[in-house]
Structure 1
Amino acid sequence: MSINDGLVERYLAVWNEPDADRRRKEVAEIWAEDGLYANTGREFHGHEGILEAVTEAYDEFVAQGFAFRLHAHAENHNTARITWNMAPRSGGDVAARGTQYLVFAEDGRIRTDHQFPEEI
Protein backbone atom coordinates (compact mmCIF):
# COMPACT_ATOMS: atom_id res chain seq x y z
CA MET A 1 0.00 0.00 0.00
CA SER A 2 1.25 3.49 -0.73
CA ILE A 3 -0.13 6.98 -0.56
CA ASN A 4 -1.12 6.50 -4.21
CA ASP A 5 -3.38 3.62 -3.15
CA GLY A 6 -5.47 5.97 -1.00
CA LEU A 7 -3.55 5.37 2.21
CA VAL A 8 -3.92 8.96 3.42
CA GLU A 9 -7.69 8.82 3.16
CA ARG A 10 -7.89 5.37 4.74
CA TYR A 11 -5.44 6.30 7.48
CA LEU A 12 -7.44 9.35 8.57
CA ALA A 13 -10.76 7.55 8.11
CA VAL A 14 -9.83 4.81 10.59
CA TRP A 15 -9.32 7.39 13.36
CA ASN A 16 -12.76 8.88 12.58
CA GLU A 17 -14.56 5.53 12.12
CA PRO A 18 -17.54 5.05 14.49
CA ASP A 19 -17.97 1.32 13.79
CA ALA A 20 -15.66 -0.74 16.04
CA ASP A 21 -15.66 -3.78 13.71
CA ARG A 22 -14.73 -1.62 10.73
CA ARG A 23 -11.92 0.02 12.76
CA ARG A 24 -10.56 -3.45 13.58
CA LYS A 25 -10.67 -4.48 9.89
CA GLU A 26 -8.97 -1.28 8.73
CA VAL A 27 -6.21 -1.51 11.36
CA ALA A 28 -5.41 -5.04 10.13
CA GLU A 29 -5.28 -3.86 6.52
CA ILE A 30 -3.31 -0.63 7.08
CA TRP A 31 -0.68 -1.69 9.68
CA ALA A 32 1.67 -4.68 9.58
CA GLU A 33 0.90 -7.44 12.11
CA ASP A 34 3.95 -6.47 14.14
CA GLY A 35 3.43 -2.76 13.51
CA LEU A 36 4.16 -0.04 16.02
CA TYR A 37 2.20 3.13 16.72
CA ALA A 38 3.89 5.56 19.11
CA ASN A 39 2.57 8.84 20.42
CA THR A 40 4.44 11.00 22.92
CA GLY A 41 2.97 9.10 25.87
CA ARG A 42 2.88 5.44 24.88
CA GLU A 43 3.81 2.77 22.39
CA PHE A 44 1.21 0.38 20.97
CA HIS A 45 2.36 -2.90 19.39
CA GLY A 46 0.61 -5.14 16.88
CA HIS A 47 -2.94 -4.93 15.62
CA GLU A 48 -4.51 -5.19 19.09
CA GLY A 49 -2.33 -2.44 20.50
CA ILE A 50 -2.86 -0.14 17.54
CA LEU A 51 -6.60 -0.80 17.69
CA GLU A 52 -6.48 0.22 21.37
CA ALA A 53 -4.80 3.54 20.42
CA VAL A 54 -7.27 4.22 17.61
CA THR A 55 -10.24 3.43 19.86
CA GLU A 56 -8.89 5.64 22.67
CA ALA A 57 -8.50 8.56 20.23
CA TYR A 58 -11.97 7.94 18.83
CA ASP A 59 -13.56 7.87 22.29
CA GLU A 60 -11.65 10.91 23.57
CA PHE A 61 -11.99 13.15 20.52
CA VAL A 62 -14.22 11.98 17.68
CA ALA A 63 -17.07 10.76 19.91
CA GLN A 64 -16.90 14.19 21.58
CA GLY A 65 -17.53 16.05 18.31
CA PHE A 66 -14.08 16.42 16.74
CA ALA A 67 -12.78 15.09 13.43
CA PHE A 68 -9.28 14.44 12.13
CA ARG A 69 -8.70 16.01 8.70
CA LEU A 70 -5.77 16.08 6.31
CA HIS A 71 -3.53 19.15 6.38
CA ALA A 72 -0.67 17.91 4.15
CA HIS A 73 1.20 14.76 3.13
CA ALA A 74 4.33 13.66 1.31
CA GLU A 75 5.93 10.35 0.38
CA ASN A 76 9.65 9.54 0.20
CA HIS A 77 10.57 6.00 -0.90
CA ASN A 78 9.22 3.64 1.78
CA THR A 79 8.26 6.44 4.18
CA ALA A 80 5.54 9.06 4.41
CA ARG A 81 4.59 12.12 6.40
CA ILE A 82 0.96 12.95 7.11
CA THR A 83 0.05 16.18 8.87
CA TRP A 84 -3.50 16.41 10.21
CA ASN A 85 -5.74 18.89 11.97
CA MET A 86 -8.30 18.08 14.61
CA ALA A 87 -11.24 20.47 14.63
CA PRO A 88 -14.90 20.39 15.60
CA ARG A 89 -16.79 18.23 13.11
CA SER A 90 -19.37 21.01 12.68
CA GLY A 91 -16.67 23.56 11.86
CA GLY A 92 -14.55 25.94 13.84
CA ASP A 93 -10.96 26.52 14.82
CA VAL A 94 -8.32 23.82 14.72
CA ALA A 95 -7.94 22.43 18.24
CA ALA A 96 -4.85 20.29 17.56
CA ARG A 97 -2.40 19.42 14.80
CA GLY A 98 0.03 16.57 14.51
CA THR A 99 2.38 14.87 12.11
CA GLN A 100 2.69 11.15 11.59
CA TYR A 101 5.93 9.70 10.26
CA LEU A 102 5.28 6.31 8.68
CA VAL A 103 7.69 3.61 7.55
CA PHE A 104 6.23 0.89 5.32
CA ALA A 105 6.89 -2.84 5.47
CA GLU A 106 7.68 -4.86 2.32
CA ASP A 107 3.96 -5.62 1.84
CA GLY A 108 3.13 -1.90 1.85
CA ARG A 109 1.47 -1.82 5.25
CA ILE A 110 2.72 0.51 7.97
CA ARG A 111 5.61 -0.96 9.99
CA THR A 112 6.12 2.09 12.26
CA ASP A 113 3.93 5.12 12.90
CA HIS A 114 5.30 7.89 15.10
CA GLN A 115 3.12 10.84 16.07
CA PHE A 116 4.49 14.30 16.78
CA PRO A 117 2.04 16.89 18.15
CA GLU A 118 2.55 20.40 16.84
CA GLU A 119 1.76 23.78 18.29
CA ILE A 120 -0.90 25.71 16.43
Structure 2
Amino acid sequence: MTSTASANARNIADEAASIAGRYIAAWDETDAVRRRALIAAAFTPEATYVDPMMSNAGHDGLDAMIGAVQQQFAGLRFKLHGNQDGHNNVVRFSWALAADGAEPVAIGTDIVVLAADGRISSVIGFLDAMNLPV
Protein backbone atom coordinates (compact mmCIF):
# COMPACT_ATOMS: atom_id res chain seq x y z
CA MET A 1 0.00 0.00 0.00
CA THR A 2 1.34 3.43 -0.84
CA SER A 3 1.67 6.09 1.80
CA THR A 4 -1.06 8.15 0.09
CA ALA A 5 -3.49 5.21 0.15
CA SER A 6 -2.55 4.56 3.77
CA ALA A 7 -3.15 8.21 4.69
CA ASN A 8 -6.52 8.18 2.87
CA ALA A 9 -7.57 5.01 4.67
CA ARG A 10 -6.68 6.58 8.03
CA ASN A 11 -8.57 9.78 7.20
CA ILE A 12 -11.74 7.89 6.24
CA ALA A 13 -11.45 5.71 9.34
CA ASP A 14 -11.11 8.88 11.44
CA GLU A 15 -14.14 10.44 9.72
CA ALA A 16 -16.35 7.32 9.73
CA ALA A 17 -18.27 8.32 12.87
CA SER A 18 -18.91 11.81 11.52
CA ILE A 19 -20.08 10.48 8.13
CA ALA A 20 -22.36 7.95 9.82
CA GLY A 21 -23.66 10.67 12.15
CA ARG A 22 -24.64 12.92 9.22
CA TYR A 23 -26.40 9.98 7.59
CA ILE A 24 -28.37 9.16 10.76
CA ALA A 25 -29.24 12.84 11.26
CA ALA A 26 -30.90 12.93 7.83
CA TRP A 27 -32.93 9.81 8.66
CA ASP A 28 -34.04 11.24 12.02
CA GLU A 29 -34.97 14.76 10.92
CA THR A 30 -38.77 15.13 10.84
CA ASP A 31 -38.87 18.75 9.67
CA ALA A 32 -39.11 18.47 5.86
CA VAL A 33 -37.03 21.58 5.10
CA ARG A 34 -34.25 20.68 7.53
CA ARG A 35 -34.30 17.04 6.39
CA ARG A 36 -33.90 18.13 2.76
CA ALA A 37 -30.90 20.31 3.71
CA LEU A 38 -29.32 17.40 5.61
CA ILE A 39 -29.87 15.10 2.62
CA ALA A 40 -28.21 17.64 0.29
CA ALA A 41 -25.25 17.96 2.68
CA ALA A 42 -24.81 14.19 3.18
CA PHE A 43 -25.65 12.75 -0.26
CA THR A 44 -24.64 13.53 -3.83
CA PRO A 45 -27.58 14.58 -6.07
CA GLU A 46 -27.57 11.20 -7.84
CA ALA A 47 -26.96 9.05 -4.72
CA THR A 48 -28.49 5.58 -4.75
CA TYR A 49 -29.93 3.55 -1.87
CA VAL A 50 -30.78 -0.15 -1.79
CA ASP A 51 -31.67 -2.54 1.05
CA PRO A 52 -33.74 -5.75 1.16
CA MET A 53 -37.04 -3.84 1.37
CA MET A 54 -36.61 -0.68 -0.71
CA SER A 55 -34.48 1.23 -3.14
CA ASN A 56 -34.40 4.79 -4.37
CA ALA A 57 -32.13 7.42 -5.87
CA GLY A 58 -31.53 11.16 -5.89
CA HIS A 59 -32.42 13.74 -3.28
CA ASP A 60 -36.15 13.59 -4.12
CA GLY A 61 -36.22 9.80 -3.89
CA LEU A 62 -34.22 9.69 -0.66
CA ASP A 63 -36.40 12.37 0.91
CA ALA A 64 -39.62 10.54 -0.02
CA MET A 65 -38.23 7.22 1.24
CA ILE A 66 -37.06 8.67 4.56
CA GLY A 67 -40.41 10.44 5.04
CA ALA A 68 -42.28 7.17 4.41
CA VAL A 69 -40.09 5.29 6.92
CA GLN A 70 -40.71 8.03 9.49
CA GLN A 71 -44.48 7.69 8.99
CA GLN A 72 -44.34 3.90 9.27
CA PHE A 73 -42.20 4.04 12.42
CA ALA A 74 -43.52 7.23 14.00
CA GLY A 75 -41.82 8.08 17.29
CA LEU A 76 -38.82 5.83 16.67
CA ARG A 77 -35.31 7.13 16.09
CA PHE A 78 -32.17 5.79 14.50
CA LYS A 79 -29.05 5.59 16.63
CA LEU A 80 -25.57 4.41 15.74
CA HIS A 81 -24.95 0.91 17.05
CA GLY A 82 -21.43 -0.39 17.60
CA ASN A 83 -18.35 0.91 15.84
CA GLN A 84 -18.04 2.80 12.61
CA ASP A 85 -15.10 2.13 10.33
CA GLY A 86 -13.90 2.80 6.84
CA HIS A 87 -11.12 2.64 4.31
CA ASN A 88 -10.46 4.22 0.95
CA ASN A 89 -13.86 5.70 -0.01
CA VAL A 90 -16.06 3.20 1.88
CA VAL A 91 -17.60 3.50 5.35
CA ARG A 92 -19.42 0.76 7.27
CA PHE A 93 -21.62 1.31 10.30
CA SER A 94 -24.54 -0.26 12.12
CA TRP A 95 -27.66 1.37 13.46
CA ALA A 96 -30.64 0.54 15.66
CA LEU A 97 -34.20 1.84 15.28
CA ALA A 98 -36.03 2.23 18.59
CA ALA A 99 -38.08 4.45 20.84
CA ASP A 100 -36.01 6.08 23.59
CA GLY A 101 -35.19 3.49 26.23
CA ALA A 102 -36.90 0.63 24.36
CA GLU A 103 -35.53 -2.44 22.63
CA PRO A 104 -34.81 -1.83 18.93
CA VAL A 105 -37.41 -2.92 16.40
CA ALA A 106 -34.65 -3.18 13.80
CA ILE A 107 -30.87 -3.32 13.66
CA GLY A 108 -28.97 -2.95 10.42
CA THR A 109 -25.62 -2.39 8.82
CA ASP A 110 -25.06 0.08 6.00
CA ILE A 111 -22.11 0.33 3.66
CA VAL A 112 -21.69 3.70 2.01
CA VAL A 113 -19.45 4.75 -0.84
CA LEU A 114 -18.21 8.32 -0.79
CA ALA A 115 -17.79 10.63 -3.75
CA ALA A 116 -14.69 12.77 -4.15
CA ASP A 117 -16.45 15.64 -2.31
CA GLY A 118 -16.99 13.43 0.77
CA ARG A 119 -20.74 13.03 0.31
CA ILE A 120 -22.40 9.63 0.03
CA SER A 121 -22.85 8.41 -3.55
CA SER A 122 -24.35 5.00 -2.74
CA VAL A 123 -25.75 3.05 0.18
CA ILE A 124 -26.11 -0.70 0.44
CA GLY A 125 -28.12 -1.61 3.52
CA PHE A 126 -28.50 -4.91 5.34
CA LEU A 127 -31.04 -5.83 8.02
CA ASP A 128 -29.34 -7.68 10.85
CA ALA A 129 -32.40 -8.14 13.07
CA MET A 130 -36.10 -7.30 12.98
CA ASN A 131 -38.36 -7.33 16.03
CA LEU A 132 -41.55 -5.68 14.80
CA PRO A 133 -44.53 -5.64 17.16
CA VAL A 134 -47.44 -7.83 16.05
Report the TM-score, using the length of structure 2 for normalisation: 0.79
2:80–2:94 contact (8 Å) kept in structure 1? yes
Within the candidate set 17, 20, 30, 2:42 is matched to: 30
Unaligned runs of 5+ in 1: none
Distance across 2 between alignment mates of 1:10 and 1:45:
18
**2:80 aligned partner:** 70
The structure that has the greater radius of gyration is 2
Do residues 51 (structure 1) and 75 (structure 2) align?
no
1:94, CA displacement in angstroms? 1.7
Where does structure 2 lack aligned partners over 5 or more consecutive residues? 1-11
Q: How far off is 1:42 after superposition?
A: 2.7
Conserved 8 A contact 2:25-2:38: no
1:1-120 matches, cutoff 5 A: 4=15, 6-61=18-73, 64-72=74-82, 73-89=84-100, 91-119=101-129
Question: When the two structures are aligned, how many residues end up with a matched partner?
Answer: 116
**Residue 5 of structure 2 aligns with which residue?**
none
In structure 1, give the amino acid aligned to 2:27.
W
Give the Cα separation in 2 of the matches to 1:31 and 1:37: 10
Q: Give the % identical residues.
A: 30
Q: Which runs of 4+ in 1 moved over 3 A?
A: none
TM-score, normalisation: structure 1: 0.88
How big is each residue's C-alpha offset from its partner over 1:97-116, in whole Å with a ceiling of 9 and x where there is no partner?
01111001111111110110
